[in-house]
Amino acid sequence: MDKMEVGVFLSSLGIADTGQALAKAKELGIKVVQLGSPPDDVLDGPGREDYINTVKESGLEVSALCAWYPGESYADIATVGRTVGLTNPETVSERLDLTRKHADVAVELGVSLLTTHIGVIPEDASCDAYSALVATIKEICEYCKARGITFGMETGQEAAKPMVEFIETVGADNLKINFDPANMILYGSGDPIEAMEVLEDYIVHVHCKDGLSPEAKGSLGTEVPLGQGEVGIPNYIAKLKEIGYTGPLTIEREAGDDRFGDISAGKILLENLRDN
């Protein structure tokens, strides 16, 4: 992979069929992709061989595999707290099992990074919920490490400092960060450029996404095309260069009526900023 190669989160294309999505990514001039959760039959085995072959035969490089979980909703901040990630005791056992299955698929793909939203880290580090989340992430990191995989938490729901404190509490050397600058805007959790100064030692993969701040307390902000939001994409790329990041610039576009157009324009923008 070339330094700071512009890629795409494959789900951003809005195409359910993996082979068709990979073909479209190539049509857009993309060389590297992040994959979202594979279909259930891939995670459980029967469809895995065909899936692995489809991905490998595409000729595209896979930078990371991202785990999603059934029942997650990003309707508003409160709903995120209840449904997203690995914090709910009623779903954590099932989701731990799913995370292991994702790690196994990553191994077969030859991918060394598994990412996810772990959920909202409790503010009180002395509470039982915090300890439970630490234990859960330790277990995942141990499973991943035994398979040569780094586990990347995605930014968004909390400020940078609590994320670092959480990582240090877990104490796993393969626990890192998939940095998404727009999520910090969308959740109102801090300035993403400032956050990078706190998180830089842990950033192993990034998203390129833009957004506007929430209009009301408890709501999420609005995602917009790259360069049209509050992230400050030129400053973002400059900061990535400053901290020595050389991995892919993975475009994520989860909204909008012209995703292909937004991704193509974003690719041009990022390449210009990267090269100048």
Residue 93 inside a domain? The answer is yes
Other C-beta atoms within 10 Å of 97: how many?
11
Closest CA to 117 of 66, 191, 50, 82: 66
Domain contains 259 = yes
Domain count, the chain: 1
User: Helices (DSSP H) in 208-258: which residue ranges?
Assistant: 233-242
- ∠126-130-133 over CA atoms, to 5°? 155
Please list, in sequence order, all residues whose beta carbon lies within 8 angstroms of the beta carbon of residue 43, skipping any fewer than 6 positions away.
Answer: 37, 98, 101, 102, 105
Residue 171 lies in a domain: yes
Q: Does 54 map to a domain?
A: yes
- The CATH number assigned to the domain holding 189 equals 3.20.20.150
Local confidence pLDDT in tens for the 276 residues of the chain: 889 999 999 999 999 999 999 999 999 999 999 999 999 999 998 999 999 999 999 999 999 999 999 999 999 999 999 999 999 999 999 999 999 999 999 999 999 999 999 999 999 999 999 999 999 999 999 999 999 999 999 998 899 999 999 999 999 999 999 999 999 999 999 999 999 999 999 999 999 999 999 999 889 999 999 999 999 999 999 999 999 999 999 999 999 999 999 999 999 999 999 999
With respect to residue 1, please indicate whether it lies within any of the assigned structural domains: no
In sequence order, the 6+-apart residues with CB closer than 8 A to the CB of 38 are 18, 48, 51, 65, 102, 105
Domain that holds residue 252: 6-275
Do residues 181 and 205 make contact, with C-beta atoms less than 8 angstroms apart? Answer: no
Q: How many CB atoms lie within 10 A of CB 142?
A: 12
Q: Taking the CB of residue 19, how many other CB atoms lie within 10 A of it?
A: 15
Compute the distance between CA of residue 123 and CA of residue 189 in angstroms, rounded to an integer. Answer: 13
Of 146, 200, 143, the C-alpha closest to 177 is 200
